[in-house]
């Protein structure tokens, strides 16, 4: 159900190692909980964040939610397409709906995140 090549957080972010940076977004579980996404506030390129620090905000017809850094690092790219079309997140949370990319990260933080099997169990818990 959840892509095997990603790692996951308890706050429903996913992260993918693309070789040069870590790509971050929210899971389809989070997107479904939020409903139709209407706005995303992204960080600035060059900003640095620690693991679990608030990086972005996503708003929907139901609620607003913070997006946290699954790993610490420096923002090297943001998904500008979300400025004009935040609904991309609902349609393609794992591909086109990514939020930002981090570099200068600690691999141990990435490896300490949940894999797909653990995240599947996590979201099924009452």
Among 24, 30, 27, 19, CA closest to 42: 24
pLDDT of residue 125: 79
Domains for the chain: give ranges and CATH numbers: 7-115 (2.40.50.100)
| Separation between Cα atoms, residue 25 and residue 88, nearest integer Å | 11
Query: Is there a contact between 43 and 100 (Cβ–Cβ < 8 Å)?
Result: yes
pLDDT at 1: 84
Question: Is 54's pLDDT higher than 90?
Answer: yes
What confidence score (pLDDT) does residue 84 get?
Answer: 97
Residue 120, classed as helix, strand or coil, is: helix
Residue 111, token pair as written in the block: 């490896």
Confidence of residue 101 (pLDDT cuts 50, 70, 90): very high
């Amino acid at each position: 159900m959840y892509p095997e090549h990603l790692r996951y957080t308890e706050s429903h972010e996913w992260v993918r190692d693309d070789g040069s940076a870590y790509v971050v977004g929210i899971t389809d579980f989070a997107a479904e909980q939020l409903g139709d996404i209407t706005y995303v506030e992204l960080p600035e390129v060059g900003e640095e964040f620690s693991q679990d620090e608030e990086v972005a905000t996503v708003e929907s017809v139901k609620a607003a939610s913070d997006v946290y850094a699954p790993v610490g690092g420096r923002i090297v790219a943001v998904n500008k397409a979300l400025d004009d079309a935040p609904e991309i997140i609902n349609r393609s949370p794992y591909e086109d709906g990514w939020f930002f990319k981090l570099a200068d990260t600690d691999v141990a933080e990435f490896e300490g995140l949940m894999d797909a099997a653990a995240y599947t169990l996590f979201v099924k818990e009452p």
